[in-house]
A and B are shown apart, each in its own frame.
Chain A
Amino acid sequence: MSSYGRVQVKDNKYRFRGDFHRLEQNMPIRDADHGWKLMGVTKPRDMTYVHSYGGEAIFFESLSQGKLMATKCENPACEANGSVFQPFRIHCPDCLSKCTVIDMTDLAKETATIHTFMVCERSGAFSVLDKPIKFINVEFENVPTILFSYLLLGEPQIGMRVLPVFKIFNPTYTILDLSWVPAGTKVGSLPEGFSF
């Protein structure tokens, strides 16, 4: 009986439980045009990576709580002093001092607009987003950077006002827990699991 691999941190060490990989038989690759001679083999593999969010963990945890966290350089000696970083940066890219974590949910609700977008008809393997994917980059007032995300409802346009929505129910604890909808969208229109 197999079980999904699960990981906990205990005593600052990873504790692994369950199955993290499955064995599958490799298969021969043969040349259909030349007497079925052997050309190679398949190498099936199913593995689970373990990945630390480190100092960004608070950002991903906060998404599941309906909050958009960012960071701010507060080093008075730095030219970037006062800059808000979204994407969240643990350290200021200029002075490398540790940034202060701030909650910018209200700023996002009040000022988020689409800087650019792309409606993408394709996706790679293991994607869980429905196609077409409406990629958007979102800019905020007085934030020098431009967050990459996706639009959940409506058709994107440059300059469109958007509101953040969060996957509070059954979160994935990934960047997919944050999405955006056009300003004016009613709560009843949101897909299951998402909330303002």
Chain B
Amino acid sequence: MIKFSQQQLKAPKFLRPVYLVTAGQSKYDRAIPDKRTEELCVDALTMAAELLDLTPAELKQYIHSCYYGHFADHFGDQLLGEAVIHDRLGLDPLGNIGIKSGGATGGSTLWEAAKAVASGYSDCVLAMGWERMDEVPTDEGNFLISCAADRDWESPLGHIYTGYYAVMAQKYWQVFGKAEASFRRTLAEISVKHHGYARFNPFAQSGMKITVDDVLMSPVIADPLRALDACLMSTGAACAILCDEDTAVELTKDSKNKPLRIWVTAGSHTLRPADRRDMAIPLLPNETADQYKNLGKEFPGGERYPGFTGFLAARMAAYYAYHMTGVVDPTEDFDVIELHDAFTISDVQTYEDVGIRPYGHGRDYVESGDCYHVNPHTGKPGKLPSNLSGGLLGCMHAVGASGIMQVFEIATHLWGRWAEIHGDANRWKEFGRVKPADWTDLQVKDAKRALSVSHAGVGSHVTATILMDPDHLLKKDA
């Protein structure tokens, strides 16, 4: 049984407030053969400047240090790819550094960027993430991704990362899902929802109008997971600009973007799930000590924590973030969220890790309709809409960019600019995509607080990013 010390469980604190003032992203697609990676990064930074009604050159004048998220050097066959991007963005002689934490790379990049502002080192920083996953055949891509697993103990086993995660999915499926057909349909609903929302997102790679049966009939990857239960493999870039208060006010004075407070926290757990040892469940503010005492009786096989059914890293990222910001109940305190839906089933697992539902009851978040923009059962707004971008299933998973894309998306809701940005007919045309005739405005009305979760593979790294309208904080000294 592992125990954590009080020092390890201390709520993190920034030395001064940090603000998100703008963000931008490129088009996402499986392949973008007509653009180099730096062109995609320029697209993202240019968009971030435009949202502040500035030119890129004007915005660049404020940037003091740069944080680059790019996971897989071997996909692009370019070590020090960060230096290439930094040079092409014309940001010399600023200090810059590359950040890698698997699928959580985008979130980790924001984590580093936020700390640079919070510490006082920089007043304005660039967090830019990208991935180029289109320059190898898919099976070689799977090989390269499998290199993120332990090279001696896991990778030789099929060179297929999906399989290393899938054993955990199977455990959750059987223990908490009880292998029920109704749960299988709930998982499929998530895919339908995310591909459906992606239809209204011009940046998204895989908008599709599909049914639960379409998901259930898609090819099996690793039973019970099928092709439409799995995230995309993508190419694209996303960026965010973080500032101290004075710079935030100056940069946004003539724009529609209100500076948003931002906090980023991180957790970790064993790279190999095989190494997981048991521990008591670290409790979130909306949980009680005796809440889980009968978990093993309610769900036989669910006695071990985190076992193969929970992600400790996600739980700890949420634990740190909620204590840092005063969040008590994520469903009540947030208005919109973006979760790392690498697979439909890992989306459900994350609902529990971040406290949207108790362990074992994640499916209720979908089945209640709370996770929708409009609750399909009541016709009223969903209580906590999730992944309106389409998520990793429908929008993209350009690994280094994913965590930043999520923050871009939740920020557009807090800025009240979702429809302006996603409904722009010129943008649909520029990306060579057809705006659907039934395009729907997914703006979450009066959104003031939001959460995004960026997650690496089997849960080795997870970050939680919280955005809040500064006039709607939950804790004065956060």
Q: Which residues of A contact B (CB under 8 A)?
A: 29, 31, 39-40, 43, 51, 53, 56, 60, 79, 83, 85-87, 89, 93, 115-127, 129, 133, 135-137, 144-150, 158, 174-176
Q: Give every chain B residue within 8 A of A158 (Cβ-Cβ).
A: 170-171, 174, 301
Q: Give every chain B residue within 8 A of A51 (Cβ-Cβ).
A: 151
Q: Which of B33, B77, B221, B274 has the most CB atoms of chain A within a 10 A radius of its CB?
A: B274
- Of residues 417 to 476 in B, which have CB atoms within 8 Å of A's CB atoms? none
A49 to B221 Cα, complex, angstroms? 30
Counting residue pairs across A and B whose Cβ atoms lie within 8 Å, the total is 138
Is the C-beta of B120 less than 8 angstroms from some C-beta in chain A? Answer: no
Q: Which residues of B contact A (CB under 8 A)?
A: 3, 33-34, 77, 137, 139-146, 151-154, 156-164, 166-171, 174, 219-223, 272-278, 301, 308
Contact assessment for B308 and A137 in the assembled complex, using a CB-CB cutoff below 8 Å: yes
Contact assessment for B156 and A124 in the assembled complex, using a CB-CB cutoff below 8 Å: no
- Which of B139, B167, B272, B274 has a CB less than 8 Å from the CB of A124? B139
Closest to B33 in A: A39
Q: Give every chain B residue within 8 A of A148 (Cβ-Cβ).
A: 153-154, 157, 164, 167, 272-274
Report if A120-B166 is in contact (Cβ < 8 Å); known contacts: A148-B154, A175-B152.
yes
Contact assessment for B221 and A122 in the assembled complex, using a CB-CB cutoff below 8 Å: yes
- Which of B140, B145, B166 has a CB less than 8 Å from the CB of A118? B166
Contact assessment for A125 and B137 in the assembled complex, using a CB-CB cutoff below 8 Å: yes
- Which of A86, A115, A127 has a CB less than 8 Å from the CB of B159? A127
6 example contacts (A-B, Cβ-Cβ < 8 A) are as follows: A39-B33, A60-B152, A87-B153, A120-B162, A125-B139, A148-B274
Contact assessment for B222 and A145 in the assembled complex, using a CB-CB cutoff below 8 Å: no
Q: Give every chain B residue within 8 A of A83 (Cβ-Cβ).
A: 277
Report if A120-B221 is in contact (Cβ < 8 Å); known contacts: A43-B77, A137-B273.
yes
- Which of A31, A56, A87, A133 has a CB less than 8 Å from the CB of B274? A87
Report if A117-B170 is in contact (Cβ < 8 Å); known contacts: A127-B158, A135-B157, A137-B308.
yes
Q: Give every chain B residue within 8 A of A39 (Cβ-Cβ).
A: 33-34
B357 to chain A, nearest CB (A): 22
Report if A124-B145 is in contact (Cβ < 8 Å); known contacts: A146-B274, A174-B152, A176-B157.
yes
Q: Give every chain A residue within 8 A of B159 (Cβ-Cβ).
A: 123-127
- Which of A56, A85, A116, A123 has a CB less than 8 Å from the CB of B168? A116
A127 to B154 Cα, complex, angstroms? 12
Contact assessment for B162 and A145 in the assembled complex, using a CB-CB cutoff below 8 Å: no
A125 to chain B, nearest CB (A): 4
A108 to chain B, nearest CB (A): 14
Contact assessment for A123 and B160 in the assembled complex, using a CB-CB cutoff below 8 Å: yes
Contact assessment for B273 and A120 in the assembled complex, using a CB-CB cutoff below 8 Å: no
Contact assessment for B160 and A120 in the assembled complex, using a CB-CB cutoff below 8 Å: yes
A56 to B34 Cα, complex, angstroms? 46
A54 to chain B, nearest CB (A): 10
Contact assessment for B170 and A118 in the assembled complex, using a CB-CB cutoff below 8 Å: yes
Contact assessment for A117 and B158 in the assembled complex, using a CB-CB cutoff below 8 Å: no
Closest to A174 in B: B156
Contact assessment for A122 and B164 in the assembled complex, using a CB-CB cutoff below 8 Å: no
A146 to B275 Cα, complex, angstroms? 7
Contact assessment for B170 and A133 in the assembled complex, using a CB-CB cutoff below 8 Å: no
Contact assessment for B277 and A125 in the assembled complex, using a CB-CB cutoff below 8 Å: no
Contact assessment for A127 and B160 in the assembled complex, using a CB-CB cutoff below 8 Å: yes
Contact assessment for A146 and B276 in the assembled complex, using a CB-CB cutoff below 8 Å: yes
A79 to B1 Cα, complex, angstroms? 9
